[in-house]
Amino acid sequence: MKVLTVVGARPQFMKAAAVSNVIREKDQEILVHTGQHYDENMSKVFFEELQIPKPDYNLGVGSGNHGKQTGTMLIELEEIYEKEKPDIVLVYGDTNSTLAGALCASKLLIPVAHVEAGLRSFNMNMPEEQNRILTDHISKYLFVPTNTAEKNLKNEGIKNGVYNVGDVMYDSVLRISKLAKENSRILEKLNLDDNDYILTTIHRAENTNDPKRLKNIIGALNESGKKVVLPLHPRTHKYMESYGLAFASNVKVVEPVGPLDMIALEMHSCKIATDSGGLQKEAFFVHKPCITMRDETEWVETVENGWNILVGADKNKIIDGINNFMPTSKQEEIFGDGTAANKIVEII
């Protein structure tokens, strides 16, 4: 079997790290990196630290508006698909790379397998929501991570080809945590103590592109009274400069870090405050309370289990969450048993 895998963004590299290694035990994989994330700290370091095979193709599309980025990917991917003639195309998550990879395959009548299918925020203003819905409806194999995701697909009339395999990100975090304990020195580098800081990320367009929301979030971090560690996304930095916003001295801003250092920062934090979907799950995996700076989440299970709260971009709610939120229940086994990658490869 020849599997062609399309990745392009940081979370997809982590998921591919789990699945690609299993594929290559018995089958052939062609790995295509669209170049959607191209900064070394957001791309190259992931392939090196996670021991992901070097991409067979790197499209180098870079940043740009949605139409240009997705269109460029479609043109480039079509040539690769016709040359490689894969038996199946594997895509992950909800980025423009996901949609382009799936749409191009569908047009060429190549079966599509969507890992992390069925997620819904029910907010169609999110580009990610549009991408994941469209991808689900043209996929032959839909690998859902949770019972909720499976129900979402059923509500949209998608019942065939749905497999509840658990979350491949859980597979990856289990593996990466061991590597981080052995190799990461980020705490010493940043002079941090265990359980003594709030780990924060901000990158969602709904927050960065809205001056009021971004001002409220940064104001909350500045006024929280807590030590905050923030690996700063390039887009967030750009918009902060545009809006004339700055961090107070309690916020330690660092460059984006690699996967081993990021997991280490998560494991040694006291809480996590984020607008990232992936980091909400990782917080759950490493047993850290999560304050989600969005109005909705795809990972409703983490909220229902009491380990995640939604605070939007409300400054007072963010400050209250940082200072007072603590889970009151034990974690349930929501995301499978850490063997999702094996199940996916066995099915396809």
325 φ/ψ angles, rounded to the nearest 5 degrees: -70, 130
Q: Which residues pair with 3 in a beta bridge?
A: 29, 88
Show Cβ contacts of residue 248 under 8 Å, excluding neighbours closer than 6 positions.
221, 222, 223
The helix (run of H) or strand (run of E) holding residue 170 is: helix 168-183
Residue that is written with structure tokens 């961090």 in the block: 247
**Known catalytic residue: 233?**
no
CA 155 centroid distance within chain: 24
Separation CA 137–CA 271 (nearest Å): 36
Among 203, 237, 268, 287, the active-site one is 203
The b/e string for 105-138 (b: 16+ C-beta within 10 A; e otherwise) is bbeeebbbbbbbbbbbbeeeebbbbbbbbbbbee
Separation CA 174–CA 167 (nearest Å): 11
Which active-site residues does the annotation give? 203
